Chains A and B, each alone.
Chain A
């Protein structure tokens, strides 16, 4: 598909085809009040050379050559060159997600592999073809739990990414799905089991937890699942740092897993587009939003792929729709598929180990705020200064510091969230530690 503007000749042809003489005549039946009777306030067209130069200059404003210790849901990981080589192929890059699915065997193959690897990664039985991102996967999982349990309340941990909780609040506002929050233990940084237990009643459809949580702390998934299940509620497990699954035990006890794959070769890109996942126990498959690709045989008995389950409600019975996702995040999810293929099980474990050792090296030089076990992120106090002051000092050394937490957790005052990945070198970590001294 080419995105070329219409020529004047084509415009005249279209107008004469429908029997009007000018654009003005075409729009004349619109009420005066909704007409914009002036040109759009945008600059006139530029030459190709000017445009290239403009964007080159903007590109130079990027913080190229900086080390980053910023995580909090978007992580600084290496992107293997093979990823862009594969996703730049026209067959993937320019094709829309398949509606006459079986024609696109190549696309279906990649989605099938994606689903398979997501199942292996999360310990779930089934995974869909992907979600828009982690934040929107969370309310979808919550609504799925509401449909499955015939209950309407959601309890979400305050240690779930604050922006994911905002998206959940937006979705729930008009869904008749009350959401309450369970606090965290001020010592460990883990979800407070007692506070959670107090909020569990017969109307709670799901408990939504994240691990490693927003503070980087690893939650006791088993204990939380037991509490939820004893109450007849489902456990929704959320992750923002997919690399952690290379090392941590998959959340087998969860009923639904919703997560973000940005860590898998998806560029931070000023916050998106990313790709989300949703996986679940097989018995919940019918309530899963999105679509699922399956393996089958063609008329000649060859291995082939097909759209096994799709949210057909959205195509043919829209009044029954349970979700607004009809398709998937095909191209961006493909980046993650290539990433998982390149790294493999061993590679991902090794990558996760590197992340953990680097973060723990950095943590050994500063004082983590919470005592709970962590993966590649942890909370640290700015030590008498503001996080902004610390970050300013780091910027002068070409280092992007951590996330000040006050905005989301006022009670944590001058604490900030630091993340170390395989991209950070020892001397950079030493420089960060120095800034906290």
Chain B
């Protein structure tokens, strides 16, 4: 279910680390909870994200949810596809519908993220409540 090559947060974001770049998205669990996504507000390229701080929002027919930066660093690219096709997040949350690419500012932060297995356990526990 949750790709093993990604790292996860309890706020339901994922990170794919490739060299010094971390690609960020929201998880399949998050998109299911949100329902049909109609708008994504992303930060500007060149702005700097701080781990744990909100840097954008995802709006569904049900609610608006903040996106929290899973890692700190400079935003080097945003997914332009989502401006016209936000529903891609519902279709392919771990792939095509990534949100931003961050130039990793503090590599130590990566280690603090959850593995796929831990995230799945966390989500399972959360859902069980």
Contact = CB atoms under 8 A, between A and B. Distances in A.
A180 B42 CA distance: 31
A397 interface: no
Interface of A: 150, 286, 312-313, 316-317, 320
A317 B64 contact: yes
Contacts of A320: 57
A150 B44 contact: yes
Contacts of B63: 316
A286 B44 contact: no
Interface in B60-76: 63-64
B64 A316 contact: yes
9 contacts: A150-B44, A286-B39, A286-B41, A312-B64, A313-B64, A316-B63, A316-B64, A317-B64, A320-B57
Contacts of A316: 63-64
B74 to A, nearest CB: 15
A415 to B, nearest CB: 46
Contacts of A286: 39, 41
A286 B56 CA distance: 13
Contacts, number: 9
Interface residues of B, number: 6
A294 to B, nearest CB: 13
B59 to A, nearest CB: 8
Q: Is the interface of B mostly helix, strand, loop or mixed?
A: strand
A313 B63 CA distance: 11
B55 to A, nearest CB: 13
Nearest to A150: B44
Contacts of A317: 64
A361 to B, nearest CB: 53
Interface in B1-55: 39, 41, 44
A317 B39 CA distance: 16
Nearest to A316: B64
Contacts of A313: 64
Contacts of B64: 312-313, 316-317
Nearest to A283: B83
A145 to B, nearest CB: 15
A400 B63 CA distance: 55
A203 to B, nearest CB: 15
Contacts of A312: 64
B46 to A, nearest CB: 9
A150 B63 CA distance: 26
B4 to A, nearest CB: 34
A316 B41 CA distance: 17
A405 to B, nearest CB: 43
A282 B64 CA distance: 21
Contacts of B44: 150
Nearest to A312: B64
B117 to A, nearest CB: 33
B128 to A, nearest CB: 27
Given A312-B64, A316-B63, A317-B64, 4 more contacts: A150-B44, A286-B39, A313-B64, A320-B57
Contacts of B41: 286
A316 B39 CA distance: 16
Contacts of B39: 286
A150 B44 CA distance: 9
B38 to A, nearest CB: 10
A312 B41 CA distance: 14
List 9 tightest A-B contacts by C-beta distance, closest first. A150-B44, A317-B64, A312-B64, A316-B64, A286-B39, A286-B41, A313-B64, A316-B63, A320-B57
Nearest to B39: A286
B69 to A, nearest CB: 16
Nearest to A313: B64
Nearest to A287: B41
A358 B57 CA distance: 54
Nearest to B54: A320
